[in-house]
Structure 1
Amino acid sequence: MQRVLIFGATSAIAEATARRLAATEVAFFLVGRNPKRLAAIADDLGVRTGNRAHQEVADLDELDRHPMIIDRALAALGGLDLALIAHGALPDQRACQQDVGKTMDSIHTNALSAISLSSLIANRFEHAGHGTLVVIGSVAGERGRQSNYVYGAAKGMLAIFLQGLRNRLTPAGCQVITIKPGFVDTPMTKEFAKGVLWAQPDDIARGIVRAIKNKSDVVYLPWFWRGIMAMIGMIPEWIFKRMRL
């Protein structure tokens, strides 16, 4: 039985991924902020798997709680095979520009919290000699754009950290997978106008499960974002800085 720990379990992508993982023999430990939503998802997964899904309500911005949460998950599951870090928040860029405190809050949530969890999980996987860590980043971390560079900076920091973690853990037999979604239609992006480049949470979930199966390293979802970001990356800075993106 695969033992799975999900942080940010009430996010649309995490929920869709958990449902896909529930098609196999699996036991879940779910962590999220919204108690009612978390309980509903746990109940649904319990029905799907025939196993009670453990749950814990927590604000993952509280870094000092991370070790205790992970210890409780390990005790409840009897070990750990897969961890998914899927929490985050999309800040108001203009508000961040006017209030550096909001900028720091976004970096704390979208980078430092995920880095803290990744570090703690990595140490346990390294000691056990196995485990797969999956972390949801963003294509926004590829290049700083005026419209969302605070969020992009946090995701860029996270991507570089995970790259180093992957380099460290590969010899230990552990997998670190960075997921880079493009535009996804979720409650976090409900105010945005949607177009042809937008994906649904289950599209991303399907790609995550495939990445786990294939033991991938860095995955762009949907797939075409790899090409889009490659082209954006080739734009010279003297041109890019004048583009209204």
Structure 2
Amino acid sequence: MKDAFGMPQSLLVLGGTSEIALATARRLIARRTRTVWLAGRPSPALEQAAGQLRALGPDVHTVPFDALDPESHETALGKVFANGDVDLVLLAFGILGDQATDEREPVNAVRVAQTNYTGAVSAGLVSARALQAQGHGSLVVLSSVAGERARRSNFIYGSSKAGLDAFTQGLGDALHGTGVHVMVVRPGFVRSKMTRGLEEAPLATTPEAVATAIEIGLRRRSEVVWVPGALRVVMSALRHAPRSVFRRLPI
């Protein structure tokens, strides 16, 4: 169960090598979290991440999980919940893709969509059902400001995040009053392995800053978190800009 301050004692990360997820795990471990499950494709990177977290004191387990294999999600995640209640599920997997390549190779574009949206829909629903069955817990989903309005420079990734964002908000509405808290997190450009080599966007942030925002959001039981907060205003302006103006912007 969560402690008196709303901090989770147990955490399940979907996307166990995500830099944002691991920064969040470290921050929560420093507070109260004592059991962590890292779900992801078996790899040395996943085991290394688990080892680094174990060094901080909690019990850390790994579980095989593949976003592109939704038929396995019920079984894989069911094994975690069978070991006891989970206070927080952090859905943190996703891929950026390469817009120019993905436009030329639709199969690549489909992989982005399947990972970021359909895989997340499956894992999100399985997790939500388990949280509802235990009667408490939070589901935190990493979306992106890119989902606010698809830009020509990354409309494949952006459209997948737009779908994920809408799904998460709808799921939160459906679960309202059940004891399950759903929160969508919308970071801007995050300095990480995924964005290495890309031109940095204004208001760029870090995995640690996103982790801090997630912790604050959990304490407040927020439904939407922007990182940094100034992006709420920026993206509102972009979202409402006339299309004739939007098309002329260098984005």
Cα–Cα, structure 1 residues 25 and 55, in superposed 2: closer, same or farther, change >3 Å? same
Change (3 A) 1:174 1:39: same
Map of 1:42 onto structure 2 = 50
Q: What's the TM-score once normalised by structure 1's chain length?
A: 0.94
* Displacement of 1:241: 2.7
TM-score, with structure 2 as normaliser: 0.92
2:64–2:76: 8 Å Cα contact kept in structure 1?
Answer: no
Alpha-carbon contact 1:61-1:108 (below 8 Å) kept: yes
Aligned to 1:73: 80
**Alpha-carbon separation, structure 2, partners of 1:25 and 1:80:** 11
Distance 2:164 2:20 in 1: 18
Corresponding position: 1:28 with 2:32: no
Letter in 2 for 1:210: I
Letter in 2 for 1:73: V
Matches within 5 A, 1:1-245: 2-23=9-30, 24-33=32-41, 35-49=43-57, 51-76=58-83, 78-194=84-200, 197-245=203-251
Shift of residue 168 of structure 1?
0.7
Q: Deviations over 1:195-225 (max 9, x none)?
A: 6521111111111111111100011101111
Q: For the residues of structure 1 that align with 2:236 and 2:109, how far apart are their CA atoms?
A: 27
Q: Distance in 2 between matches of 1:244 and 1:25?
A: 43
CA contact (8 A) 2:146 2:157 kept: yes
CA distance in 2, matches of 1:95, 1:43: 35
d(CA) in 2 for partners of 1:89, 1:236: 29
How far residue 232 of structure 1 moved from its aligned partner, in angstroms, is 0.8
**Greater share of residues in helix:** 1
Aligned-pair RMSD on alpha carbons? 1.5
1:40 Cα deviation after fit: 1.9
**Per-residue deviation, 1:26:** 2.2
Hey, what's the Cα distance between the residues in 1 that align with 2:72 and 2:42?
17
SS in 2 for 1:88: coil
Equivalent-residue separation in structure 2 for 1:108 and 1:195 (angstroms):
26
Deviations along 1:161-196, one digit per CA (max 9) or x if unpaired, are 111101110111211100000000010000113365
CA contact (8 A) 1:42 1:54 kept: yes
SS of match in other structure, 2:62 = strand
56-65 vs 19-28, which deviates more?
56-65
Partners of 1:207 and 1:101 lie apart in 2 by 35
User: Corresponding residue for 2:5?
Assistant: none
Q: Is contact 2:97–2:112 with CA below 8 Å preserved after alignment? A: yes
Is the CA contact 1:139–1:229 (under 8 Å) kept in the aligned structure 2? yes
Contact 2:81 2:130 (8 Å CA) reproduced: no
CA contact (8 A) 2:53 2:60 kept: yes
Tell whether the 8 Å contact from 1:35 to 1:57 is kept in structure 2 after alignment.
Answer: no
Identity in percent: 35
